[in-house]
């Protein structure tokens, strides 16, 4: 059984994030050697994940404006900073359950909750995350589960989805196993995520879609549908916020949202197709006699990545107190809002297109202006500053680039 622990840990330092101060192990001391916090820290805390936590606070608050939130669970809590921020920065009567396998994390998280007077709203248990999710959720299912592991969240997905309120719950997932997800180890991606990853300009989008694809398959296995409310790709990780509910009819329909993405690295033509249409479409290269260096990723999620209403509420909540969040959060939300209606088009990186066609690179905004003047839809993307999403074919973009550079 999972139990509450008492032990004594010294050497904690005070840090602050958002509107919350907290204690954790000395980050600077454990960052010195490798330039980033190591997993063998006495209690794990990574300040570079602040944007992840900032947006998690905002998305959860936006979600709570329309959905019940009585109890959340963070089964891999570390210092407890994430849960502490939810309790401290989001108004409401909700409670939390935290867990970690590391006794020193448990002690630190308990201290942090106590310091803020939250021990009546949150409980901290010592043990294994999967056992906690499956045992502690009996009779009082969670309205939100936040999985923030070292590496991949996949081992926790089945237990997390089963622990959610079947009437609807929010699942937050962080993944840091980027070499598998981004095409360095496609076999590992197939093993863990049920789909091949590949190297492509939009490889981080493929990573998000592989994570969503795996989440769909495990949700579907449990008779649930999924609805991505928002996604994030930055630094060395990806993150997704997904509404999950028991709904077999919707889940059956969502089979159409599982598919493949193909890219020709030579002519940069990309194509998205549902698994149900497999084999029915011919891949059309965008230059004559294309050497056809074609890459393929999937099966993965080819459906929406954002929910426009949740995103709108998230933006408004950010505007209430922008100083509380990292300065990049505003721009990220702006870019997410811009790209949300065009996510069915994998983004094109202007530098990659120019490299493929041996052209110098004009300004992205000049290309965008011409595309709009020609009646195409176009947006920036939060994934990459040098990329665009557009319904224009690559050959049109190439022809615009040639005009702009006077070729």
Ligand X SMILES: C[S@@+](CC[C@H](N)C(=O)[O-])C[C@H]1O[C@@H](n2cnc3c(N)ncnc32)[C@H](O)[C@@H]1O
CB 303 within 8 A of CB 254: yes
CB of 53 to ligand X, least distance (A): 6
The site string for ligand X over 62-101 (x = CB under 6 A, - otherwise) reads: -------------xxxxx-xx----------------xxx
CB of 202 to ligand X, least distance (A): 26
Determine if 109 is a binding residue for ligand X (CB under 6 A).
no
The region of 146-154, 159-167, 223-231, 393-401 touching ligand X under the rule CB under 6 A is 146-154
Q: Which residues contact 346 (CB under 8 A, 6 or more apart)?
A: 200, 202, 205, 261, 263, 270, 272, 389
CB of 266 to Zn ion, least distance (A): 5
Strands (E), 55-204: 71-74, 95-100, 122-126, 144-147, 169-175
Q: Which does 192 bind (CB under 5 to 8 A by kind): Zn ion, ligand X, none?
A: none
The region of 122-130, 253-261, 262-270, 315-323 touching Zn ion under the rule CB under 5 A is 262-270
Nearer to Zn ion, 145 or 267 (CB): 267
The site string for Zn ion over 265-284 (x = CB under 5 A, - otherwise) reads: -xx-----------------
CB of 182 to ligand X, least distance (A): 19
CB of 79 to ligand X, least distance (A): 6
Residues 390 and 343: their CA atoms lie apart, in Å, by 9
Q: Among candidates 172, 216, 225, 211, which has minimal Cα distance to 60?
A: 172
Q: Which residues contact 151 (CB under 8 A, 6 or more apart)?
A: 175, 176, 177
Residues 211 and 218: their CA atoms lie apart, in Å, by 11
Question: What are the Cα distances from residue 335, in Å, to 82, 114, 343, 381, 389?
Answer: 24, 38, 12, 6, 11
Determine if 44 is a binding residue for ligand X (CB under 6 A).
yes
Q: Among candidates 74, 166, 53, 226, which has minimal Cα distance to 61?
A: 53
Find the binding residues for ligand X in span 173-232 (CB under 6 A): none
Residues that bind ligand X (CB under 6 A): 44-45, 49, 53, 75-79, 81-82, 99-102, 105, 128-129, 148-150
């Amino acid at each position: 059984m999972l139990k509450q622990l008492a032990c004594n840990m010294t050497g904690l330092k005070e840090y602050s994030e958002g509107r919350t101060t907290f204690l954790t192990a000395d980050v600077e001391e454990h960052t010195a050697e490798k330039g980033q916090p190591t997993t063998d820290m006495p209690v794990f805390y990574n300040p570079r994940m602040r944007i992840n936590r900032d947006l998690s606070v905002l998305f959860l608050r936006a979600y709570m404006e329309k959905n019940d939130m009585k109890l959340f669970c963070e089964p891999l809590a570390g210092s407890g900073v994430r849960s502490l921020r939810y309790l401290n920065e989001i108004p409401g009567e909700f409670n939390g359950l935290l867990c970690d396998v590391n006794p020193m994390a448990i002690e630190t998280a308990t201290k942090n909750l106590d310091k803020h007077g939250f021990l009546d709203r949150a409980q901290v248990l010592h043990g294994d995350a999967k056992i906690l999710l499956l045992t502690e959720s009996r009779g009082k299912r969670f309205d939100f589960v936040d999985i923030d592991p070292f590496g991949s969240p996949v081992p926790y997905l089945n237990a997390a989805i089963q622990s959610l309120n079947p009437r609807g719950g929010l699942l937050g997932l962080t993944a840091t196993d980027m070499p598998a997800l981004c095409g360095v180890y496609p076999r590992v991606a197939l093993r863990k995520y049920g789909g091949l990853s590949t190297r492509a300009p939009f490889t981080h989008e493929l990573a998000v879609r592989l994570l969503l694809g795996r989440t769909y398959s495990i949700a579907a296995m449990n008779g649930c549908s999924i609805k991505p409310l928002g996604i994030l790709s930055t630094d060395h990780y990806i993150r997704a916020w997904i509404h999950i509910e028991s709904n077999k009819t919707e889940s059956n329909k969502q089979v159409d949202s599982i598919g493949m993405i193909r890219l020709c690295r030579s002519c940069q033509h990309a194509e998205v197709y549902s698994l149900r249409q497999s084999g029915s479409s011919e891949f059309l290269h965008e230059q004559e006699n294309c050497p056809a260096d074609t890459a393929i990723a999937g099966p993965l999620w080819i459906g929406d990545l954002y929910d426009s209403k949740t995103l709108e509420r998230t933006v408004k909540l950010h505007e209430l107190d922008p100083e509380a969040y990292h300065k990049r959060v505003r721009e990220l939300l702006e870019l997410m809002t811009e790209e949300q209606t065009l996510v069915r088009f994998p983004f094109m990186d202007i530098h990659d297109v120019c490299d493929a066609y041996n052209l110098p690179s004009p300004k992205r905004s000049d290309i965008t202006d011409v595309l709009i003047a020609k009646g195409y839809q176009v947006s920036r993307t939060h994934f990459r500053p040098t990329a665009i999403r557009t319904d224009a074919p690559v050959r049109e973009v190439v022809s615009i680039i040639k005009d702009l550079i006077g070729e």
